[in-house]
C-alpha cells in the first residue's frame, strides 16, 4: 500500500489479475478491476440512480464548455429541415439549446421524473418542436433514422463494453450516412485502462481516451472534432469532460 497524499491510497493486488485501486478519503473507490468494483459497489445500477432524479445539475463550468462545444462544432452544421435525437436527454437542457435550429428534436431518457421536468420546461418556453419519450438504454430501439444524434454523458453510465458497443451500433444504424453524432463523457487521463468508480450513492466508468474512441470508430463513425472541455479533478486520478463529434460513414 502506498500513500499518495490528501487521504488517497493506492493499493496493488497480485492474484488472478494485476490491478490498481485507489481509496479516496475513505469512501470512494477507483479501480481498474471490474471484479473489485462489483464487490464494493453499493449502487445496484445507475438506471435506478437516474430514475430517481428530477433535474440534472452539472457543474456550471461543464454547462458553459459543453454549450460552447455544441455551438462551435454541432449547431453550425444544422439546418431547419433536420430531425435530431437527444439520447439520454435528462431534463432536456441540450434539447432546448438545439431546438431553435431544427425541425424537430426527439428526446429519450430512462427517468420519467426528468422527462416530466423536460416537458414542463419546453412548454413554459414554448418550444413546440421537442418531443420527449421514455427509453431504456439497455433496450434501445429507434423507430426512425435521424439526421443527427446527441448522446451526452450516457457511456459514463454504461460500465460494460459489450453493452456500450451494442448501444453505439444501434445509434449508428439509426443515423443517416453523413449525419453527426455528438458525444460527451467523463474520461480518465491518468491510466491506460478504464477506471471504475464507486461511492455510496453513485457509480460510473471513466474510460481511457483511446478505449473510448475505439467504441465509435469500430461501429462505422469517423472522428470529425475533439476537445478536452474541462478537468474535474487530478487526485487520485485525472478526470475530465471530453467532447467529440463523429460522422456516420
Percent of the chain exceeding pLDDT 90 equals: 63
**CATH architecture for segment(s) 45-188+207-248:** 3-Layer(aba) Sandwich (3.40)
pLDDT in tens, 73-92: 999 999 999 999 999 999 99
**Helices and strands (H, E) in the chain, number of each type:** 7, 13
97 preceded by cis ω (within 30°)?
no
103 in Cβ contact with 129 (< 8 Å): yes
Which three cell numbers, joined as nine digits, stand for 15? 492474484
Overall average pLDDT of the 143-171 stretch:
95
Please say if the pLDDT value at position 8 is more than 50: no
pLDDT in tens, 201-231: 788 999 999 999 999 999 999 999 999 999 9
74 in Cβ contact with 245 (< 8 Å): yes
- What's the pLDDT band for 68 if we cut at 50, 70, 90? very high
Element of type H or E holding 233: strand 221-233
Element of type H or E holding 244: strand 239-248
pTM score of the predicted model: 0.88
**Domain boundaries of the chain, sorted by first residue:** 45-188+207-248
240 in Cβ contact with 208 (< 8 Å): no
Overall average pLDDT of the 66-77 stretch:
94
The alpha carbon of 156 is separated from its chain's Cα centroid by a whole number of angstroms, namely 5
Amino acid at each position: 500500500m502506498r500513500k499518495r497524499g490528501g487521504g488517497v491510497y493506492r493499493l496493488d493486488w497480485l492474484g488472478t489479475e494485476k490491478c490498481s485501486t485507489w481509496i479516496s478519503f475513505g469512501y470512494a473507490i477507483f479501480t481498474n478491476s471490474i471484479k473489485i468494483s462489483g464487490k464494493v459497489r453499493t449502487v445496484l445500477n445507475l438506471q435506478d440512480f437516474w430514475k430517481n432524479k428530477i433535474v440534472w445539475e452539472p457543474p456550471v463550468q461543464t454547462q458553459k464548455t459543453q454549450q460552447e462545444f455544441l455551438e462551435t462544432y454541432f449547431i453550425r452544421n444544422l439546418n431547419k429541415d433536420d430531425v435530431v435525437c437527444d439520447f439520454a436527454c435528462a431534463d432536456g437542457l441540450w434539447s432546448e439549446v438545439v431546438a431553435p435550429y431544427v425541425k424537430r428534436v426527439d428526446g429519450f431518457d430512462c427517468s420519467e421524473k426528468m422527462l416530466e421536468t423536460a416537458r414542463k420546461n419546453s412548454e413554459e418556453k414554448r418550444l413546440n418542436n421537442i418531443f420527449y419519450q421514455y427509453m431504456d438504454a439497455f433496450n434501445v430501439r429507434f423507430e426512425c433514422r435521424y439526421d443527427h444524434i446527441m448522446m451526452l454523458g450516457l457511456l459514463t453510465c454504461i460500465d460494460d463494453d459489450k453493452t456500450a458497443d451494442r448501444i453505439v451500433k444501434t445509434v449508428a444504424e439509426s443515423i443517416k450516412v453523413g449525419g453527426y453524432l455528438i458525444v460527451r463523457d467523463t474520461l480518465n487521463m491518468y491510466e491506460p485502462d478504464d477506471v471504475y468508480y464507486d461511492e455510496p450513492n453513485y457509480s460510473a466508468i471513466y474510460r481511457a481516451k483511446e478505449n473510448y474512441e475505439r467504441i465509435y470508430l469500430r461501429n462505422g463513425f469517423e472522428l470529425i472534432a475533439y476537445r478536452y472541455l474541462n478537468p474535474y479533478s487530478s487526485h487520485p486520478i485525472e478526470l475530465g469532460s471530453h467532447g467529440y463529434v463523429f460522422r456516420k460513414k
